[in-house]
Structure 1
Amino acid sequence: MSAFVVVVARGVPDASSPLLGRFEFDQALALQQAGCHVVVAVLDCRSPRRRRAGLLTPWRVRHSTFEGLPVARIDIGLGSLPVRAFVPLLGRAWRRLYEAVVEHHGRPDVVHAHFTRWAAGVVPTTLRLRDGADQPLVVVTEHSSRLRRGSVTSEDRALARHAYRADRVLAVSSALAEVLAAEFGVTATVVPDLVDVDAFQPHPAHPTHPAQPAAPTRLLSVGNLIPRKGMDRLLRAFAAAFATSDAELVIVGQGPERGHLEELVTSSGVGDRVRLTGGLGRAELAAEFAAADGFVLFSEWETFGVVYVEAMAAGLPVLATHCGGPEDFVTDDVGMFTGTTPEDDVAALKTFVSQLDTFDPAVIAALARVRYAPGAVAARLLEIYRG
């Protein structure tokens, strides 16, 4: 008999918030494809100021489907309440939602929550409600990029005291598991984020293919335009490394740093070879991957780094910083790392571009699929659920 898994999500993706709950729904779809009965339970805590369907009847459980998955949803509009108020209110909302799920679908074998802030209400409430020591199993996956050694806040610790009481605590990278151990004394199992590898496949007419005419080397970077992603660092290194070259750089993303980056492009004299696209949909992003020769992202900290693996799925070599997540998957077959100084970045970019044709796109793509395809991650989760 297949396992019945309730995946707890922060929200339902829509046109205005395409990434809201995306990790959770992708996991739920993968588990469904692996043969599980899956229900997504949505605890939408966004502020009431953000008008959306359901807030006219807050705290009411609504049932629907999304992407072929049954969804039970409650909108509670807690916003950024302090932990001492947020956690008990979230726990009350989760109890109502959980009982509605049980009434409509039966008692689950597994409740799988994501992110400490949501898990802090889900975990203790579920442990109190279960009618036996092993039903349901309570699992938490931690993704949050806020959690770094030496920068954990008192609020993080307060949430962790509730969330990490789960039967299983998972972290999306070895680096994040080390943070949980060092800061909270929690032993976490590493289960990476899954990646829709089929959306980013090696292109048969990739510019580096021997049959293609010579063209300028094109590097691609993708990420929110925020300081942590290091786009200004990349731009400075690119301008210094390729001042007399025809190499091109495409930056995909949107965010508050865009104006600063546009100024930097102009002042660095590379305006004719650098393009900032803004945010792109998945199909448009796949086209940019297909047109690139290599992927570069100089992040300060990544708990995983989905976009690196998307680039790998597209067969692109990767140049990364030692920032946490990439250490789990950037090997000599996949790409390389830069150092810590501006001089390191310039040298690494030059070396990376000079060695692009030594990487095999098919090998890179295969490595991404073996570990991060939905089926691979779902199989690992099922092993953990079964103990």
Structure 2
Amino acid sequence: MSTEKRDSMRRLKVLILPSSYPSKENPVKGIFFKEQAEALNQYVDVAVLSVDIIRLNQPKKVIHAKRKSICKENGLLTFRLNYVNWTPKSKNLSNKLYEKKVVEGYEEIVKIFGKPDIIHAHISYPAGYGAMILSKKFKIPFMVTEHATFFEDKLMTKYNNYTTKVLKNADYYSAVGSNLKDKINKAGREQCEVIPNFINMDKFNLGKKSQIRNHSNIFNLINVSVMTDKKGIDVLLRALHQVTYDKGYQNIHLNLIGSGPEKQKYEHLSRELGLINYCTFHGRLNDDDLVKYMNLSDALVISSRIETFGVVGIEAMASGIPVIATRCGGPEGYVRDKVGLLVEKENVNSLAEGIIEIINNYDKYDADSIKEYVHKNYSSEAVCEKIMDIYKKLIR
């Protein structure tokens, strides 16, 4: 982004309203919202209003949790407001309480930040709904970025009345993937632009692949995911069995990074399939170790049943490696020829064939070209540029 453009937007004030936000107890919850707010704070003045429910099944938090705090976090003015929902079975009363707390939080943060020019909410409900309440009460334009895999299954069913109002009243809508955009269009919102998640390019770009790759004759695959059913690890393991045993590709190894409720089940399945020598479950890794494994890999596999985006695919490409991904809603938006390939979801044969195709045609994937593609489209600079263009439209 040019210096002139950055300076012209410097005084703009943007209030970010996330549906979840990282905390000491859960440092990864809502991490994308925090990272985007920090990136935007380089170009405009950003404040974050995090309104979070303390549930009755969290007795320690009900008793001990700090209800309010305001401070600078990595340069971001951040106001956290935690409250107990005493009527969780009443949707109407719960929503009224949320409305009250959002307004309360807004009135607190503007004493320091001043009145924002724009409110930017992440996820239609509850944050989008909260932004709508603030927009109407204080006459401020608001936009919503949708990230939720549960948009149709939850937001448009359990919270349909509230979500529909947000879809109707938002001044601007964006979605992190084309599949999610289609769902928003289907729900009645005609205007919706795809604005992807971004990554820190420097974090994953450690150097030339030829300098850091493991020079053994093993082809190293990597999968990074929370091990739940929707990630399709069972399909991936069965595809790996087919590649190694049925197709005879013995010089291959799959590194599975991540933990989750289904991890033991998948470990058991790998033993049943005779894959002990062909895959390793590493559990959850810290960022430095994840980057190391990514850069020592030859290709990433996304085997998910559903994704709104799948940022791990972008992280892999920032490392210079191609991506094999299922058509699960997110990767279709960024996996192109020469950076990877798409296969059918929940299809063992299709995934196995995709793995074999990548192995047999690996020379066609140029690490530097893959990195350049990511930098041009998914770096923080590229994504912030798109968001800033929207902000300019909203204040005209």
TM score, norm. by length of structure 1: 0.91
The percent identity for this pair of structures is 26
CA RMSD of aligned residues (A): 2.3
Give the partner amino acid of 1:114: H
2: CA distance, partners of 1:139 / 1:55: 35
In structure 2, the residue matched to 1:230 is 232
Which of these residues, 155, 159, 162, is aligned with residue 159 of structure 1? 162
Q: Deviations over 1:190-242 (max 9, x none)?
A: 11112222211154355896xx7443000001111011111110010011112
Identify the structure with the greater helix proportion: 2
1: CA distance, partners of 2:373 / 2:113: 38
Distance change >3 Å, CA 82–CA 30, structure 1 → 2: farther
Point out where structure 2 has 5 or more consecutive residues left out of the alignment.
1-9
Distance change >3 Å, CA 261–CA 169, structure 1 → 2: same
For the pair 1:100 / 2:103, whether they are aligned, the reply is no
In structure 1, the residue matched to 2:74 is 67
Distance change >3 Å, CA 268–CA 57, structure 1 → 2: closer
In structure 2, the residue matched to 1:259 is 264
In structure 2, the residue matched to 1:313 is 318
1:356 to partner: Cα distance: 2.0
Q: Please list, as runs of the form range in 1=range in 2, the aligned pairs for 1:3-42 lying within 5 A after superposition.
A: 3-33=12-42, 35-42=43-50
In structure 2, the residue matched to 1:363 is 369
Aligned residues: 378
Task: Name the SS for the 1:154 alignment partner.
Answer: coil
Distance change >3 Å, CA 68–CA 159, structure 1 → 2: same
Give the partner amino acid of 1:232: D
1: CA distance, partners of 2:314 / 2:222: 13
Distance change >3 Å, CA 207–CA 237, structure 1 → 2: farther
1:125 to partner: Cα distance: 1.5
2: CA distance, partners of 1:121 / 1:69: 23
In structure 2, the residue matched to 1:129 is 137
Q: Please list, as runs of the form range in 1=range in 2, the aligned pairs for 1:188-203 lying within 5 A after superposition.
A: 188-203=192-207
1:176 to partner: Cα distance: 0.6
Point out where structure 1 has 5 or more consecutive residues left out of the alignment.
none
Q: Deviations over 1:23-46 (max 9, x none)?
A: 21111111112x211111111124
Which of these residues, 361, 364, 377, is aligned with residue 383 of structure 2? 377
Contact 2:209 2:320 (8 Å CA) reproduced: no
Give the partner amino acid of 2:235: R
Task: Name the SS for the 1:76 alignment partner.
Answer: strand
1:137 to partner: Cα distance: 1.8
1: CA distance, partners of 2:120 / 2:63: 25
Q: Deviations over 1:258-291 (max 9, x none)?
A: 1110111101111022111111121111011011
1: CA distance, partners of 2:89 / 2:74: 31
Which of these residues, 303, 327, 334, is aligned with residue 329 of structure 1? 334
Q: Deviations over 1:151-199 (max 9, x none)?
A: 8752142231233221111111111110011133442111111222221
1: CA distance, partners of 2:182 / 2:13: 31
1: CA distance, partners of 2:277 / 2:310: 29
Which of these residues, 280, 295, 309, is aligned with residue 300 of structure 2? 295
1:81 to partner: Cα distance: 5.1
In structure 2, the residue matched to 1:220 is 222
Distance change >3 Å, CA 152–CA 50, structure 1 → 2: closer
1: CA distance, partners of 2:20 / 2:329: 27
